[in-house]
Structure 1
């Protein structure tokens, strides 16, 4: 398989991967909303300890995350592998 064919197959997988990414994002947002406290004006307040943890993770390069945090990221990436494998196996 040449580079052009690989590129073509991967591009065809983009829509499936984009749908998966949207579901991943929606799942995360459901979680964030579930741990927050809804206010009467419709805003959402998130506990300071969660905000502090997420801010630390945002500011931390992947290589400096804890092993558990890196494994969580790996778990998310592994969900994409079947789509990529299928795209390359055709």
Structure 2
């Protein structure tokens, strides 16, 4: 099957770098948050509070369907930040950076 220039697959492929940019911003936002919760040691290591590590370990081990309502809403909030970019890509606006990044906001 040959992809036409207007196909959804082609548009999504053309938008990969914009989505990767958003993913990096999301990751960097999370890392800033995590680092803000830790204590930097003299050797540069970061020590996180045990209660947060336990909470995050539990969330990692939990399937989405089993998360609390608040945890699910937090995940939905993250996805909503991608939607304007996905919509722009599907509309053929792969270079459209008009939708502000929500990942840099706290």
TM-score (structure 1 length as normaliser) = 0.92
Give the aligned partner of residue 16 of structure 1.
Answer: 18
The CA distance in 2 between the partners of 1:86 and 1:32, in whole Å, is 31
1:21-67 Cα offsets, whole Å, 9 max, x none, are 00010010001111101111111100000000000000000000001
Give the aligned partner of residue 80 of structure 1.
Answer: 82
Aligned residues: 88
Give 1:84 deviation, angstroms. 1.3
Give 1:83 deviation, angstroms. 1.3
Larger helix percent: 1
Runs (4+) of structure 1 exceeding 6 A deviation are: none
| RMSD, aligned CA | 1.3
Name structure 2 gaps, 5 residues minimum.
93-106
